[in-house]
Structure 1
Amino acid sequence: MFKKTFYKAIILTSMAVLATTTSCNKFLELRPQDGVTRDKFWQTKEQLSSAVVALYTSMGGTTANFFIWGELRADMVIPGLNSLQDDINVVNNNILATNRITSWAAFYQVINLCNTVLDFAPAVIERDNTLTREQLNSYLAEALTIRSIMYFYLARTFGDVPLKLSATASDSDIAQVPKNTQAEVLNRVVADLQTAEGYAVSSYGVVASDKGRVTKFSINALQADVYLWMERYADCITACDKIITSGRFAMVPDVAWFNNLFVAGNSTESIFELQFDNQFLNPFYTMFNIPLRFRAPQDIIENFWGQDDVDPINIKDVRGIDASVRQSDQYIYKYIGLSPNTVRSLDNSFAHWIFYRYADVLLMKAEACANSNRGQETLDIVSQIRTRGRALTKSSPLVPSATDVNGLNDYVLQERALELAYEGKRWYDLLRHAKRNNYARIDVLLSAVVKVIPPDAQQAALNKLRDKNNHYLPINQYELQTNPNLIQNPFYK
């Protein structure tokens, strides 16, 4: 079973792979002992398998960033009683290079592990004749895809970032790498995902592995997301359709939305989710529970999902109160709730982190269709999502015409907020809509973000946000000090 091998892999690789990447005096300066990785580890298919599974473990160290980078600068999160000053500064758009949230070190550690697999795995087939070419290719697909996820987050968060494609596996390999442009990084992601799609399996034959490891369909979902960001709408639709027409995925029923997706996990709707367990806890207990670091704005709770004016108890959007949020204490509830009245304990904090699910893919296709003169398809998809969620009319009262491109985009954006709240999507959704057509809709970003900034900080924040360079985080001061080839992002010079 995937989860059992998952934890065995942590032990197997701790001496040979993970422990060789712990001395980080520079962001890519990951110093192992010369020769250990190549000569003493990469010998058998079992060692290769454990190294690949350990890539997923290493992603656990980036999970908090998936949420923070994807949500904290947007309009659906505010500081809690236990927020750090760095958190507050990000919400208020008062971000300096010394802010700890700007550290990308954990992402490059994952990237280096992926590079290590990609560099050393091919030689294993020459040393272990029980390793087949198909198995090797599947492992390479996993490493390519996980590396692509890391670079996609980095490029959307920082803009231009260093593109390191070879392993820092010995002291002689250490290099200080300058930045590549965002376009160069994304083009490499596209190329890598095309290769990975050809190598990946469609199924491992076990549900937890099909949902928790890279398959062709998780690659297709990531491709769709990348293409949508790049405004390659026909390619986005093609990638989405590979998932839609596969017959392997379906939206869970409305009554089971919260339990199937976030309590049980690995549902029929899930495409790719990072697996947690009582041996491998997620970071969300202290983020969303006592001591409360982040919470939902009261306005979101009261008005966003809406309450029926006649029967607010029995008629409600199933994705809102007691699902995405809890009304009594403004909890962000998706990752800490077991039922409307029961919160997870610390030792039960293992809700999975969902990268992609079927509803997300449908909404990505809807957005691509809105920008491809296929507006009726957009309306049909959004209607399907709203019907499943039992959305109330007041949450999106104006249905646009099939030819109103801006209206269609706003309609999809609103529905993504309702459906995918707190899944690390919101800031990237706002920025993607704002930057389209050379920032023709920057008002989308400004009008959303200003809602959660205190009145005395709003004007300063808006002035910064009007500069598109402000939409990317600064490079952390530590990285600049230790890598002279890095140049600070323009807004923060």
Structure 2
Amino acid sequence: MKINIFKISFVLLVVMILQSCDDYLDLKPEDGTVRQEFYQTKEDVQAAVIGIYDAMLNQPAGVNDRPLTDYLFMWGEMRADMVLATEYASNDERDITRFNILDTNPITTWSAFYRIINFCNTVIELAPGVLEKDPTFTQEQLDSYVAEALTIRAYLYFTLTRTFRDVPLKLDATLTDQDNFQIPKSSQQEILEQIALDLKEAEGKAKENYGSPAANKGRITKYAINALQADVYLWLEDYNSTVQACNKVINSGNYALIPANNSWFNIVFAEGNSTESIFELQYSLNNLNPFYDMFFERPRYTASARVTEEVFGVNFQDPTKKDIRGDRASLVAINNYIYKYIGLTTNERKSRATSDTHWFVYRYADILLMKAEALNQMGDNEGALALIGQVRERATALDQTERNPSDTEGITDYILEERAREFAFEGKRWFDVLRNAKRNNYERIDLLLSMAAYSVPSDIQQSVLAKLEDSNSHYLPIYFYELYANKALEQNPFYE
């Protein structure tokens, strides 16, 4: 990809604006979570950990950036086949959906992630010193806080490596301007292996119960760690470990699918913290989510036109029979508005002032379907189909979306179809298809090509399909300013 005059001018302009900034990865210390003098008491450590969760929900003051959940949605959905960018979307957003991606597109910035990673690193590094300063601070309390920081850091790196593949792996805190900002990328394999090590450590330190449903769903528990472990092991193609991690959640007895009824949507999504939930980023009436504008008032994204009929299915003989996850749950069929984050009930949406629906990181159905994927790869086709059946039965899935595959490839397709129904618009679709496509040296590249054939306009379809034949195109470019700030970085190969 040749660098044109416009791009050079743009880069120079931004460099001039930012030339006083020397903070690689946006890690320059700028609030209490990263100041050494802040860590004096157990209350300070607690405040720092709460600050990490707060940073995952909100834009930092004075920083021109999006909330983290914006990126979680965009990176997981916009290149997939279930979302369309509307007239209200920016050109940068539309470019992502059309696979016209340059390293000057601000959607490729990772600053929000590394900023929070530094908060996690700071807790991991400085919290142990508080044991000597505060005699009321116990080892058990310290372990629990460190487990939360380790796991959130692992989740953020997991998102980064699935999005960019190779990224800088920084495991120590940036506390002063003199710290080294020139850090090369680590490989995806190295990052996944480090994540697995961190999660193993966190599992041994974490709490199982914080004493209330909201805390148990909104903070990192041992079972949230197990859910993330299962996901990571799928990417590492360690299927035995995936099953073991899933079984820890299943055998805990803390989680269950809620049977289909008129309150299902309200309980699981509008209210949140249900028995189906494992970990949610929790918005509230005092801290509203960004989804109202994203999906309703001037919706930047809607569901693809194919979702209602082809993903969930429609019973034309008896429209009252439907998959509970479809119309008036994931979307509104009549106009394709994404409903999951703005609905109160199946008939009533929330207002802007009550837009407090959470971001769902892991739900119990994810455990069942991840285990099904692992069993399928291990040759246990019947076990995989039984787990898919559990999820479908709870959802009253339509007969027309039922499959009866008898081979690994067919069950892979079936699992992906079921994951599309279950996790519509939850930031998982692109990663689900990529994970299955790349297995065995891209044995199922057809999964990505078929998805693109559905999602991109016909006039650019052949160009996009040609791009996707190159596995380097499956990952986003490194934002140009990161390359300017960190000379040890190299651009992802497809975008050089």
TM-score after normalising by structure 1:
0.92
Who is 2:291 aligned against?
284
Write the letter of the residue equivalent to 2:450: S
Q: What is the CA–CA distance in structure 2 between the aligned matches of 1:383 and 1:163, rounded to whole Å?
A: 39
**CA shift in 2, pair 1:354/1:35, >3 Å:** closer
- 77-86 or 213-222, larger mean C-alpha shift: 77-86
Q: What is the CA–CA distance in structure 2 between the aligned matches of 1:484 and 1:278, rounded to whole Å?
A: 43
Who is 1:310 aligned against?
317
Please say if 1:209 is aligned against 2:215.
yes
**Consecutive unaligned residues in structure 2, runs of 5 or more:** 1-19, 58-66
Paired residue total: 467
Which of 165, 182, 200 is the matching residue for 1:159? 165
Q: Secondary structure at 2:170's aligned position in 1?
A: coil
Q: Secondary structure at 1:185's aligned position in 2?
A: helix
- 355-364 or 276-285, larger mean C-alpha shift: 276-285
Q: What is the CA–CA distance in structure 2 between the aligned matches of 1:172 and 1:131, rounded to whole Å?
A: 31
- Tell me the CA shift for residue 36 of structure 1: 9.8
Write the letter of the residue equivalent to 1:425: K
- Tell me the CA shift for residue 34 of structure 1: 12
**CA shift in 2, pair 1:118/1:400, >3 Å:** same
**CA shift in 2, pair 1:93/1:241, >3 Å:** same
Q: What is the CA–CA distance in structure 1 between the aligned matches of 2:28 and 2:204, rounded to whole Å?
A: 33
Write the letter of the residue equivalent to 2:53: Y
Which of 45, 48, 61 is the matching residue for 2:45? 48
Q: What is the CA–CA distance in structure 1 between the aligned matches of 2:224 and 2:147, rounded to whole Å?
A: 11
- Tell me the CA shift for residue 208 of structure 1: 0.8
Q: What is the CA–CA distance in structure 2 between the aligned matches of 1:423 and 1:308, rounded to whole Å?
A: 25
Q: Secondary structure at 1:171's aligned position in 2?
A: coil
Deviations 1:289-321 (A, max 9, x none): 121100011121233211113111x11000000
Please say if 1:28 is aligned against 2:35.
no
Q: Secondary structure at 1:254's aligned position in 2?
A: coil
Q: What is the CA–CA distance in structure 1 between the aligned matches of 2:364 and 2:32, rounded to whole Å?
A: 44
Who is 2:79 aligned against?
73
Who is 1:422 aligned against?
425
Write the letter of the residue equivalent to 1:428: F
C-alpha contact 2:365 2:391 (8 A) present in aligned 1: yes
C-alpha contact 2:123 2:146 (8 A) present in aligned 1: yes
Q: What is the CA–CA distance in structure 2 between the aligned matches of 1:28 and 1:165, rounded to whole Å?
A: 13
Runs of at least 4 residues of structure 1 off by over 6 A? 33-36
**CA shift in 2, pair 1:24/1:389, >3 Å:** farther
Counterpart mapping for 1:240-279 below 5 A: 240-255=246-261, 256-279=263-286
C-alpha contact 1:251 1:359 (8 A) present in aligned 2: yes
TM-score after normalising by structure 2:
0.92
- Tell me the CA shift for residue 175 of structure 1: 2.1
Q: Secondary structure at 2:297's aligned position in 1?
A: coil
Q: What is the CA–CA distance in structure 2 between the aligned matches of 1:280 and 1:34, rounded to whole Å?
A: 20
Write the letter of the residue equivalent to 2:414: Y
Q: What is the CA–CA distance in structure 2 between the aligned matches of 1:36 and 1:55, rounded to whole Å?
A: 8
C-alpha contact 1:27 1:105 (8 A) present in aligned 2: no
Q: What is the CA–CA distance in structure 2 between the aligned matches of 1:103 and 1:69, rounded to whole Å?
A: 11
- Tell me the CA shift for residue 252 of structure 1: 1.2
**CA shift in 2, pair 1:153/1:461, >3 Å:** same
Please say if 1:444 is aligned against 2:447.
yes
Q: What is the CA–CA distance in structure 1 between the aligned matches of 2:95 and 2:351, rounded to whole Å?
A: 29
Give the percent of matched residue pairs that are identical in Structure 1 and Structure 2. Answer: 52
- Tell me the CA shift for residue 31 of structure 1: 2.9
Write the letter of the residue equivalent to 1:266: N
- Tell me the CA shift for residue 440 of structure 1: 0.3
Q: Secondary structure at 1:65's aligned position in 2?
A: helix
Who is 1:127 aligned against?
133
Counterpart mapping for 1:138-177 below 5 A: 138-177=144-183
C-alpha contact 1:269 1:359 (8 A) present in aligned 2: yes
Write the letter of the residue equivalent to 1:47: D
Which of 396, 399, 412 is the matching residue for 2:404? 399
- Tell me the CA shift for residue 342 of structure 1: 2.3
Deviations 1:321-356 (A, max 9, x none): 010010222111100111233222222111001100
Q: Secondary structure at 2:361's aligned position in 1?
A: strand
**CA shift in 2, pair 1:472/1:64, >3 Å:** same
Q: What is the CA–CA distance in structure 2 between the aligned matches of 1:364 and 1:37, rounded to whole Å?
A: 36
Please say if 1:59 is aligned against 2:56.
yes
C-alpha contact 1:335 1:351 (8 A) present in aligned 2: yes
Counterpart mapping for 1:77-96 below 5 A: 77-96=83-102
Please say if 1:432 is aligned against 2:429.
no
Q: What is the CA–CA distance in structure 2 between the aligned matches of 1:372 and 1:191, rounded to whole Å?
A: 23
CA RMSD of aligned residues (A): 1.5
C-alpha contact 2:388 2:415 (8 A) present in aligned 1: yes
Q: Secondary structure at 2:478's aligned position in 1?
A: coil
C-alpha contact 2:89 2:300 (8 A) present in aligned 1: yes
C-alpha contact 1:158 1:474 (8 A) present in aligned 2: yes
